[in-house]
Homo-oligomer: A and B are copies of this chain.
Amino acid sequence: MSQAPRILRKQTGNFLEDFVPGQVFRHKGGKTVTEGLFTTFTEFAMTANPLSKNARYARAYGYQGLVCSPGLTMLVAFSQTVEDVSENARANLEYIDMRFGAPLYVGDTVEVETRVLGIKASSSRPNLGIVSVQSTARKNPGERDEAIVLTWQRKVQVYKRDDAASLNEGEVPPDEVECALWLPPYSKRTDYKSLAHLSSRDSYFEDLEPGTLIEHSRGRTMTDEHIHLTAVLDNTSQVHCNQFMIDLDPQQYVGGKLIIFGGIPFVLCLGLSSPDVGDNALGDIAYATGRHTAPLFAGDTVFAATEVLGKRDLPGRPDLGVVETRLLGHKFELDSGAKHDDAPPGWKKTRIFELERATAIKRRSHYAG
């Protein structure tokens, strides 16, 4: 170019003053689940449920093939909303009323819409506020098997572009979104018992006792692989992958380093819990609420535990029951000065994640009796 070019730098994502209650985003992109994506996340997270590992098992149960784990379904759907909703967020505050619908398979394409439910200024920090949204993920729009796979609300703390901008404060009620977990019918002709050795022996409905805290035995150290994993999800938020931006002004960023995308500990905690509480599930029904309570960084080792809160029958399905749990994620941090009952000497235990969870679980009586 002979002349100095006009320089253009496009904004990506919205800032607090851009949101309007009732506004709807039809998110860009959409995402077809490939076998590459499927394997990466199922196995990264140490998912143990054979529905996501063993196609002959999944088909015998009445699914079309390998089934995306709840964590993968959540990651695919959620990530589609990042650019419009949270590219300029400081933190994701809460997941609310997340409900699963149709099973998600390899080959399915997920597209997501989000409705803005509310905008609220921060009383203490003039450059921040809270945006509430409701998102719904649909698979295969316009095709015969079009269906909702996930719906959820979340609250997210978003930066203003201009501290002096006025906001469209207010709120609208959420839509009623019909979304209930699809369950394959129990078939008298299927020899479920011949498959029972493929899932764990002691994680049936009958085994899970309210009032129990199950400490899942495995831990998993995160590496800088999180940069790649986050890109694989189309989550382009720069706080996860742009080290140069962090180096220019570390104090601006949580921990002064690249923070791991919350979807990673979300799916990893689900995976770590899976041999003990998910192996005999036919699916997660809903997450009433969930939140990240501390940041996760490369080098941290993630552990998980599950509190069994309650259990109940699932109407119309004598072969299944609903187990209500609280999934807890934690890591250990050096803490030379103190002694903690729940951590080895010199360390403290830091809660990183919690999720209220209702799961549809097989009864041993019907599947392995």
Q: A residues engaging B (CB < 8 A)?
A: 1, 3, 5-12, 26-32, 34-40, 43-44, 46, 48, 50, 53-57, 66, 106-107, 109, 111, 140-143, 197-200, 202, 209, 211-221, 223-225, 227-228, 231-234, 236, 238, 241-245, 248, 258, 275-276, 279, 299, 301, 303, 307-309, 331-332, 344
Contacts and interface: CB of A to CB of B under 8 A. Distances in A.
A55 B107 contact: yes
A237 B344 CA distance: 21
A209 B3 CA distance: 14
Contacts of A27: 197
Nearest to A43: B232
A7 B213 contact: yes
Given A28-B48, A307-B1, A231 B236 contact: no
Nearest to A346: B248
Please tell me how many copies of the chain the complex holds: 3
A359 B39 CA distance: 30
A5 B213 contact: yes
Contacts of A220: 227, 231, 241-242
A307 B5 contact: yes
A10 B344 contact: no
Given A198-B28, A219-B241, A301-B244, A228 B225 contact: yes
Given A35-B34, A43-B231, A221-B244, A28 B197 contact: yes
A297 B107 CA distance: 36
B309 A1 contact: yes
Nearest to A331: B244
Given A28-B200, A244-B332, 10 more contacts: A7-B212, A8-B215, A10-B202, A28-B50, A34-B106, A46-B236, A56-B143, A220-B231, A225-B228, A248-B344
